[in-house]
Structure 1
Amino acid sequence: MGEQKRKEEAAKNSTFIFEKKNYTFMLIGVAFIVLGFILMTGGGSDDPNVFNPEIYSWRRIRLAPALILIGFGIEVYAILLNPNKTK
């Protein structure tokens, strides 16, 4: 019986490392990263002998990598965020 009681107390005392605010920012960061990779797709050619200059479009060269870097920045912020900090 003592073993079961200790496990129940440990379960009551266990807490998550992050809180809801952290997870919200993490999901936003993941959304930015996924959107960046989606914007980076396409632009290829079915025929390997034909060059498609669309692969070097502004969307694939500038916008998509910027969104991915912003997403990683949001992820770092979400990890370092202390939701219990009072102002």
Structure 2
Amino acid sequence: MGEQKRKLENKEEFIFQKENYKWMFIGLGFIALGFILMVGGGSDDPNVFNPEIYNWRRIRLAPALILIGFAIEVYAILLNPNKK
């Protein structure tokens, strides 16, 4: 009986579980997609202005996706799958 108790006491437990990592990867996907959507829009010639840099995708959508991704990351860290 004492040996079984010691084995249970020595068992190490990870801080995060499978569901935490699932949400973390979803959040990282949102962040990566946001940065990918923000890429581009520059001009090859520095004397020519390209108004594409100020389009809706780069100014509104991409930063919103990044912020949503960070919110999902916070949720993934605070999630306690044992408490259901």
TM-score where L is the length of structure 2: 0.87
Q: Which residue of the other structure, out of 30, 33, 47, is the alignment partner of 2:31?
A: 33
- Aligned residues: CA RMSD: 1.4
Q: Which consecutive residues of structure 1, in runs of 5 or more, have no partner in the other structure?
A: 1-8
- Equivalent residues in 2 for 1:43-58, closer than 5 Å: 43-58=41-56
Q: Please report how far the alpha carbon of residue 15 of structure 1 lies from its aligned counterpart in structure 2 after TM superposition.
A: 1.5
User: Following the alignment from structure 1 to structure 2, what is the Cα–Cα distance between the partners of residues 63 and 19?
Assistant: 31
Aligned to 2:59: 61
Moved over 6 A (4+): none
Identity over aligned pairs, percent: 78
Q: How many pairs align?
A: 77
Aligned to 1:76: 74
TM-score where L is the length of structure 1: 0.85
